[in-house]
């Protein structure tokens, strides 16, 4: 039985016979068994990959869908460049900074920023979560309305600190961090995802080191999303913060973002 670094057993399931070959390919790629007892299953359905906790009291499956559901609603009705996350990363008239989202998760924040015109590199270190995100990006690429957005999103699998320290190519103007701890978002969606993810991911106890690395690589600013009442990440102090009802964006300014050509 395959176990991730936190000792949680996961298996691969195909939910229809015609998906067996593709499911076997995912299993081989991720090192997952296809039989036996497990606490979690990565399932391949006609609708794509999904991760589910197994058991009678378990919440529903977690998947990435950039075309329909909550993410699509936010894209269409979420307030555009007036959203707090847009202000936090410095989006303004004539400014669409290049962004590195070093804690990508399911890619929701990265998708919002890409939908506003930013080029977004994403890093996700948990292979199962990265697989969900990769699958969601591939499916979104077939939708004519969403494909131009996801074309601005690029996924990297690995440890964010290592990848940042060894970054090749053009440096990102903004690095965005949303550490796993100590989130206390009470929405049903986030509660379900946290219940599934917490045993697989654990807490981001290396957040101070990640912040320090980000401050060395970003050219213009680092933004850290926190629960509104949570302490700042240990290390350098933010220059200022933007506060919402449940979240806060701590901003570490390095250089002023200005429109191209100015």
Q: Any binding-site annotation on 109?
A: yes
The whole-model pTM stands at: 0.89
Supply the pLDDT for residue 237. Answer: 97
The mean pLDDT of 73-82, rounded to a whole number, is 73
In this model, does residue 186 exceed pLDDT 60?
A: no
Supply the pLDDT for residue 203. Answer: 56
Q: Any binding-site annotation on 125?
A: yes
Q: Is 155 helix (H, G, I), strand (E, B) or coil?
A: strand
Q: Any binding-site annotation on 170?
A: no
Measured CA to CA, the distance from residue 259 to residue 262 in angstroms comes to 6
The mean pLDDT of 146-153, rounded to a whole number, is 97
The mean pLDDT of 32-60, rounded to a whole number, is 91
Measured CA to CA, the distance from residue 80 to residue 57 in angstroms comes to 38
Nearest by Cα to 41 from 72, 73, 6, 2: 2
- First-to-final CA distance of the chain: 58
In this model, does residue 183 exceed pLDDT 60?
A: no
In this model, does residue 180 exceed pLDDT 90?
A: no
Q: Any binding-site annotation on 124?
A: yes
**To 5 degrees, how large is the angle CA 30–CA 166–CA 6?**
35
Nearest by Cα to 182 from 196, 169, 194, 200: 194
Measured CA to CA, the distance from residue 243 to residue 249 in angstroms comes to 6
The mean pLDDT of 111-121, rounded to a whole number, is 96
pLDDT above 90 covers a percentage of the chain that reads 70
């Amino acid at each position: 039985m395959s176990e991730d670094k936190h000792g949680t057993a996961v298996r691969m399931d195909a939910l229809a016979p015609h998906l067996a070959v593709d499911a076997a390919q995912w299993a081989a790629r991720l090192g997952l068994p296809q039989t036996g007892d497990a606490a979690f299953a990565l399932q391949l359905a006609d609708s794509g990959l999904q991760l589910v906790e197994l058991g009678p009291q378990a919440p529903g499956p977690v998947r990435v869908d950039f075309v329909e559901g909550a993410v699509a609603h936010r894209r269409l009705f979420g307030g555009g460049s007036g959203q707090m996350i847009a202000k936090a990363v410095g989006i303004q008239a004539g400014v669409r900074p290049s962004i590195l989202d070093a804690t990508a998760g399911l890619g929701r924040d990265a998708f919002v920023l890409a939908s506003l015109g930013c080029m977004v590199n994403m890093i996700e270190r948990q292979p199962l979560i990265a697989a969900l995100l990769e699958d969601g990006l591939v499916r979104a690429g077939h939708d004519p309305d969403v494909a131009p957005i996801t074309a601005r999103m690029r996924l990297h699998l690995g440890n964010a600190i290592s990848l940042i320290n060894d970054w090749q190519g053009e440096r990102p103007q903004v690095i965005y961090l949303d550490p796993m701890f100590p989130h206390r978002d009470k929405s049903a969606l986030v509660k379900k995802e946290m219940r599934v993810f917490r045993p697989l991911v654990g807490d981001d106890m290396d957040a101070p080191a990640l912040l320090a690395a980000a401050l060395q690589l970003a050219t213009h600013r680092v933004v850290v999303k926190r629960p509104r009442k949570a302490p700042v990440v240990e290390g350098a102090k933010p220059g200022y913060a933007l506060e919402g009802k449940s979240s806060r964006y701590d901003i570490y300014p390095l250089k002023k973002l200005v429109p191209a050509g100015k």
